[in-house]
A and B are shown apart, each in its own frame.
Chain A
């Protein structure tokens, strides 16, 4: 057993940390206030190579694998959850769907500019009537010559309003449903019949753009069917495995930042004649944060290593998402508590973190759904089939 990161991954980790501290951290408050990630930051991130970390070099990626992806998400998660959401949706699920199941031609045409950050990706599965029950989506795709005609809408799509390329999931056979009746498509923002609907106002990650995508007789060429016809649900689930692992990594970064801020504050804030660091009540919160962080780090890195070495990592990815998001929420909660009244003040780092952390327990499958999936998987090994 060897816990040492490769030299390249160490260099990558350090470089991303420096970039995040120098280029993203100073803007992170402004990103929330303006509810937008500035275009020139996105360009800098693209040039630096953040948009293609795990993808093979031949497709414009860094070739850093899932380990590189997780190390990157951890560092970004420390400074801005909104930027982490942008990258998570872009890499972990949006581009990943094309990387996993796209044809060579589709990869050349779409993945290369996505990996280089010249274009932004989104992943559109959720509908107003289909959240946790993603298999019940309604958006329909009907063949018409060399095109499919799409009708329906998707809601709460991360990067949706700013995306150039969208991995979209639509019903091609209602009777079959998720088992053979859902097909994935690659949609360009310029396709006729596609438009952006409501742009959402959120509790946290306000710099991340979230919105509704509307399809009214939207024409998508048959060449843009992603993966096997009718196998779209499988594509979605495979991409979400990577996405959830990355979410765990970003949560790790968030929790680490919460701990760091808490340590600094407790060291300096004096009450009753001494820094509050000397109070056991504070020490216990700090120790619990550190303990959970170390457990999460081992989990995330091991899951990435499993993925990179071609082993089955699906259940672990779900566990990363479940445990990671809850560790991050608890860490943010403790950080607010340690900061006392200061922790409740708007636009103070930990107040923002507290709001930002909450989404981790909801998107990419709620934590209830993760628990169900994990347990279903465990029971399956015993031959018990759990019904949702």
Chain B
């Protein structure tokens, strides 16, 4: 069973995001593996452990520092890592990212492909689904449970929908995007971390993937971010005190009605 997990490096959600000249300034941001991808990796490892055989490969599109996300995956127990890296890939939109991943996947064996349901940085939630389309594979998104049949040919996935649950059966290979609740991601073991330096990370660029620089990157982007801005800071709340309670309540009601227009 060959399981591939697409991972993305994102800024730590605990860090303070700065916007400079209309784009997010990544300078000095602490980076982590996208949290939804952690569920994806965990599920891949669980399947491998349950079957007692298989190979888990982590793959990413990103700059040099994104290697850390692959290393995190290797530390958790992934067997192999592939880094899709090229100057030409810079600024790729979700479609181009999916295209690059699809080109890479065409070169390797896979039975199951996992992605996180979305990246917590830009929240597009597109890559996994676009990837499935490009590879002409079935996909089930936002899954919270996955069972693989004995013969490894079919899978039953559960997904949470408004007010209920959907149970979907699919043939394999297929693409699944992981939602919180799918499992409880493990810590990387310290032995796993120290074993990372013994594992090699393959690097594939435009040439290896057979994509032309015109197909991907900032220029080819089908969608463009026009502007990013930080939400306006909240003003300090108004405090009423020391007056007759009925009078204060009247003032609050007035503000809610006329200023906040909530009532």
Binding site for B on A (CB under 8 A): 6-8, 11-12, 15-16, 18-19, 47-50, 52-53, 57, 61-64, 68, 72
- The residue on B at minimum CB distance from A61 is B191
Assuming A11-B71, A11-B72, A11-B75, is B190 touching A57 (CB within 8 A)?
A: no
Whole-angstrom distance between the Cβ of A336 and the nearest chain B Cβ: 29
Interface residues of B in 191-210 (CB under 8 A from A): 191-197
Contact of A12 with B190 in the complex, beta carbons under 8 Å: yes
Assuming A8-B194, A62-B194, A68-B194, is B187 touching A48 (CB within 8 A)?
A: yes
With beta carbons under 8 angstroms apart, the residue of A7, A19, A52, A72 that contacts B187 is: A19
- The residue on B at minimum CB distance from A44 is B187
In the complex, which residues of chain A have a beta carbon less than 8 angstroms from the beta carbon of B188?
11, 15
Contact of A15 with B187 in the complex, beta carbons under 8 Å: yes
Can you list 22 A-B contacts with CB-CB less than 8 angstroms, sorted by A residue number? A8-B194, A8-B196, A8-B197, A11-B196, A12-B190, A15-B187, A16-B190, A19-B187, A47-B189, A48-B187, A48-B189, A49-B192, A50-B190, A52-B190, A57-B191, A61-B191, A62-B190, A62-B191, A63-B195, A64-B193, A68-B194, A72-B190
With beta carbons under 8 angstroms apart, the residue of B71, B75, B194 that contacts A64 is: B194
Assuming A7-B71, A11-B71, A11-B75, is B190 touching A48 (CB within 8 A)?
A: yes
Docked complex Cα distance between A53 and B197 (Å): 16
- The residue on B at minimum CB distance from A49 is B190
User: B70-107 toward A: CB 8 Å interface, digit per residue (1/0)?
Assistant: 01100100000000000000000000000000000000
User: B113-141 toward A: CB 8 Å interface, digit per residue (1/0)?
Assistant: 00000000000000000000000000000
Which bucket holds chain B's interface residue count? 10 to 19
Binding site for A on B (CB under 8 A): 68, 71-72, 75, 187-197
With beta carbons under 8 angstroms apart, the residue of A8, A50, A52, A61 that contacts B193 is: A8
Docked complex Cα distance between A222 and B169 (Å): 63
Docked complex Cα distance between A63 and B194 (Å): 7
Docked complex Cα distance between A8 and B75 (Å): 9
Whole-angstrom distance between the Cβ of A48 and the nearest chain B Cβ: 6
Contact of B196 with A49 in the complex, beta carbons under 8 Å: no
* Interface of A: prevailing SS: helix
| Among A11, A48, A52, A72, residue most surrounded by chain B Cβ atoms (within 10 Å) | A11
In the complex, which residues of chain A have a beta carbon less than 8 angstroms from the beta carbon of B189?
47-49, 62
Contact of A11 with B193 in the complex, beta carbons under 8 Å: yes
Whole-angstrom distance between the Cβ of A74 and the nearest chain B Cβ: 14
In the complex, which residues of chain A have a beta carbon less than 8 angstroms from the beta carbon of B72?
11
Docked complex Cα distance between A32 and B192 (Å): 31
Contact of B187 with A53 in the complex, beta carbons under 8 Å: no
- The residue on B at minimum CB distance from A10 is B68
In the complex, which residues of chain A have a beta carbon less than 8 angstroms from the beta carbon of B187?
15, 18-19, 48
Docked complex Cα distance between A19 and B197 (Å): 22
| Among B68, B190, B193, residue most surrounded by chain A Cβ atoms (within 10 Å) | B190
Whole-angstrom distance between the Cβ of A189 and the nearest chain B Cβ: 26
Whole-angstrom distance between the Cβ of B42 and the nearest chain A Cβ: 15
| Among B71, B187, B194, residue most surrounded by chain A Cβ atoms (within 10 Å) | B194
In the complex, which residues of chain B have a beta carbon less than 8 angstroms from the beta carbon of A48?
187, 189-190
Docked complex Cα distance between A6 and B193 (Å): 12
Docked complex Cα distance between A62 and B190 (Å): 6
In the complex, which residues of chain A have a beta carbon less than 8 angstroms from the beta carbon of B193?
8, 11-12, 15, 62, 64
In the complex, which residues of chain A have a beta carbon less than 8 angstroms from the beta carbon of B71?
7, 11
Docked complex Cα distance between A6 and B196 (Å): 12
In the complex, which residues of chain B have a beta carbon less than 8 angstroms from the beta carbon of A63?
191, 194-195
- The residue on A at minimum CB distance from B32 is A14
- The residue on B at minimum CB distance from A50 is B190
Docked complex Cα distance between A151 and B92 (Å): 74
- The residue on B at minimum CB distance from A13 is B193
Given contacts A8-B197, A62-B194, 8 further A-B contacts (CB under 8 A): A6-B197, A7-B71, A11-B75, A48-B187, A52-B191, A57-B191, A57-B195, A68-B194
- The residue on A at minimum CB distance from B197 is A8
Whole-angstrom distance between the Cβ of A19 and the nearest chain B Cβ: 6
In the complex, which residues of chain B have a beta carbon less than 8 angstroms from the beta carbon of A53?
190
- The residue on B at minimum CB distance from A11 is B193
Whole-angstrom distance between the Cβ of B21 and the nearest chain A Cβ: 31
Contact of B190 with A68 in the complex, beta carbons under 8 Å: yes
Contact of B190 with A64 in the complex, beta carbons under 8 Å: yes
In the complex, which residues of chain B have a beta carbon less than 8 angstroms from the beta carbon of A61?
191
Whole-angstrom distance between the Cβ of A244 and the nearest chain B Cβ: 22
